[in-house]
Amino acid sequence: MTLILDPDQVTGVTNEIDNHRQEIFNLMSKYKSSNLASDSFWRGKSQVQNVTTATDITVKQAKIDSVAQGIVHQLRNTVTSWQHEDSQHAAQQAGVAG
């Protein structure tokens, strides 16, 4: 299958990813800086603090997942659009050749 790339669509998807890249990076940095693997991160905190922290991290993970799903959805739509254009182009070529 030949993939016909519309520069405007490529730019749109690229911009969408770029728009979220810093947001994802910031969320991941906060998540990693919390050093969850370390027992000392949890030690000395009350159960309420631990629950609050765990909830905050879960919310951040959900936000990252949501952003990623949005990007994947945009990419799928773009690829579907390209495939539709390819099939139209192939039909036109077949009509010309026929």
Per the structure, how many domains does the chain have?
1
- Specify the pLDDT at position 1: 45
The verdict on residue 11 lying in a domain is no
Q: Which two tokens stand for residue 43?
A: 């030690």
More confident position, 25 or 3: 25
Instruction: Examine residue 94 and state whether it is found in any structural domain, yes or no.
Output: yes
Higher pLDDT, 72 or 18: 72
Note the pLDDT tens digit of each residue in 25-84: 777 676 666 555 556 666 666 777 777 777 887 888 888 888 888 888 888 888 888 888
Range of the domain at 64: 58-98
Q: Within a domain: residue 19? A: no
For the chain, what is the largest distance between any 2 Cα atoms, rounded to a whole number of angstroms?
Answer: 78
Could you tell me if residue 83 is inside a domain? yes
67 occurs within a structural domain: yes
Q: Say if 30 falls within a structural domain.
A: no
**For the residues of 10-78, what is the DSSP string, one character each?**
HHHHHHHHHHHHHHHHHHHHHHHHT-TT-HHHHTTS-HHHHHHHHHHHHHHHHHHHHHHHHHHHHHHHH
**Measured between alpha carbons, how far apart are the two ends of the chain, in Å?**
20
- Mean pLDDT value of segment 6-12: 64
Q: Which two tokens stand for residue 59?
A: 């919310």
Contact 19/71 with Cβ under 8 angstroms?
no
